[in-house]
Amino acid sequence: MDGLTFDDCLRVVDDPRAYEGWRDDFGRSGPYVVDSRVDLPFVADLADRCRDFGFPERATELLVAHRETWDHPAVQRLAAHYQWLVAERYHPGTYLHLGFPAPPPQCRLFYAYALLGLAGRVGAEQAAVGIDAAVTVATFWDIGQQVMLHDRIHGEADLRKGWWLCHHLAGWLFRIGRLQFHRRFADDHHGPAAAGRAFLDVHIPEDGPLTRAGCDASFARATRFMAEHFPDDDARWFGCSSWLLDPVLAEILPEDSNIVDFQRRFQITHIEEGWPSGVFEFVFDRPDLDGAAPPDLHTLAPVTTLQRAIVDHYRAGGRIRPVTGVIEIGDP
C-alpha cells in the first residue's frame, strides 16, 4: 500500500479532479501507512469497536456488512491521506478547504472506516492528556449516528456529512452531556462583543429530549472542561446557529416546549433570511428540502407537536430561518 502513487489511487475514484487538492501533500501522509493507522480489525472486532462507541445498531450492521469494500490498497492509501489531513491539517477556520470529495464508488462508507481507523489513536492521545474516556466515546458516537441517519434518510449505506466529523477526530469538537461543543472563532454574526474571539459553538445531537436539566448540566460541564483542557482558548461565549433559535418557534410551540426554553438562553445576534434552514431534513427525515420552499407539504404526515406546528406554519405561508445567538460564559 505504501508504494502506491497518487495517480495509482485515483484509478479507484469516479472523479479524479475532485481529489486534486490532495495531490501536493500526498507524500507527507506516508507515516499513516507505515504505522498501519488505516487498518481495520476483522468483522467481529469491528462490531465490538462500534459497540464500544455506542453506535446505533443499524449503523453497526451497515459497517460490518460492507466491511469487504475497504479491502483495497488504493482505498486504504487514500484513507491514510484523509486521516493525515484531519489529524495534521484541520483548523476550525480552514476545514472546508481540506476537500471532501465523493468516496470511491466501491466503498461508500470510506470516510466512516477512515475515521474509525483513526479513532483508536486519537482516543489514546486524549486519554494521555486526561480527557475522560466517556467524553471521547460520546464524541465518536457521532460517526455511527451519521451513518445511521444517512441510511434512514436516503436508504443507502453512506456517511452523512463526512466533512462534519473531522471536527471530532481533530480534537476541536467534544460531546459533553446532552450537547456538543465546537471550539471555533466568532464572526460578525455573533455580535461585536464576541466577534474575532474564541467561542464554543453549540450543536444538538438528535438522540433525546432537550431538557432544561440536561442542558444546564451540559453547559456547566463544558465550561469546566474547556477551562481545564484548553485554557489558552480563553473562550468567553457560547454560540449557536440553528433554526431552533428562530423566535417564530416560540409563537407556534407550547409555552413549556423544551425548544422554546433552549432558545431563551441565547441573545439573538443575527437572523439569516436567505440561507436554507434544513428544518425538514431534521424534523421529517426528508432529503434536499431547504426549509424555504418544501415541494409538497401534503406528502408529510406530522405526528409530534413540533411536526404539526411546522407544517401548519408553512401551510400558512410562514418559514423558519437559521438564527445565531450567544451566551456569555461565566467562571467555571
pLDDT score for 120: 86
pLDDT of 154 above 70: yes
Q: How far is residue 283's CA from residue 278's CA, in Å, rounded to a whole number?
A: 9
DSSP β-bridge partners for residue 327: 238
The lowest-confidence range among 40-54, 55-69, 117-131, 283-297 is: 283-297
In the structure grid, which three cell numbers stand for residue 253, read together?
A: 410551540
Which has the higher per-residue pLDDT, 188 or 210?
A: 210
Q: Whole-model pTM above 0.85?
A: yes
User: Would strands 323-328 and 237-242 be described as parallel, antiparallel, or unpaired?
Assistant: antiparallel
pLDDT digits (tens, 9 = 90+) for 98-128: 668 889 999 999 999 999 988 988 999 999 9
Q: How far is residue 56's CA from residue 38's CA, in Å, rounded to a whole number?
A: 23
- For the chain, the average pLDDT equals 88
As a three-state string, the secondary structure of the chain is CCCCCHHHHHCCCCCHHHHHHHCCCHHHHHHHHHCCCCCCCCHHHHHHHHHHCCCCHHHHHHHHHCHHHHCCHHHHHHHHHHHHHHHHHCCCCCHHHHCCCCCCCCCCCHHHHHHHHHHHHHHHHHHHCCCCHHHHHHHHHHHHHHHHHHHHHHCCCCCCCHHHHHHHHCCCEEEECCEEEEEEECCHHHCCCCCCCEEEEEECCCCCCCCHHHHHHHHHHHHHHHHHHCHHHCCCEEEEEEHHHCCHHHHHCCCCCHHHHHHCCCEEEEECCCCCCCHHHHHHCCCCCCCCCCCCHHHCCCCCHHHHHHHHHHHCCCCCCCEEEEEECCCC
pLDDT score for 331: 59
The three-point CA angle 212-273-279 to 5° equals: 50
In the structure grid, which three cell numbers stand for residue 322, read together?
A: 437559521
Residue for grid cell 406546528: 309
Q: How far is residue 158's CA from residue 112's CA, in Å, rounded to a whole number?
A: 8
**Nearest 5°: phi and psi at 199?**
-150, 170
Domain 176-332, second-level architecture: 3-Layer(aba) Sandwich (3.40)
pLDDT score for 10: 96
Which has the higher per-residue pLDDT, 170 or 38?
A: 170
pLDDT digits (tens, 9 = 90+) for 312-327: 998 898 889 899 999 9
pLDDT of 63 above 90: yes
DSSP β-bridge partners for residue 201: 182, 239
pLDDT score for 182: 94
Amino acid at 130: G
Q: How far is residue 16's CA from residue 20's CA, in Å, rounded to a whole number?
A: 7
pLDDT digits (tens, 9 = 90+) for 259-293: 999 999 999 999 988 766 778 888 988 775 544 55
pLDDT digits (tens, 9 = 90+) for 200-227: 999 999 888 999 999 999 999 999 999 9
Q: How far is residue 211's CA from residue 206's CA, in Å, rounded to a whole number?
A: 13
10 touches 54 (CB < 8 A): no
**In the chain, domain spans:** 6-171, 176-332
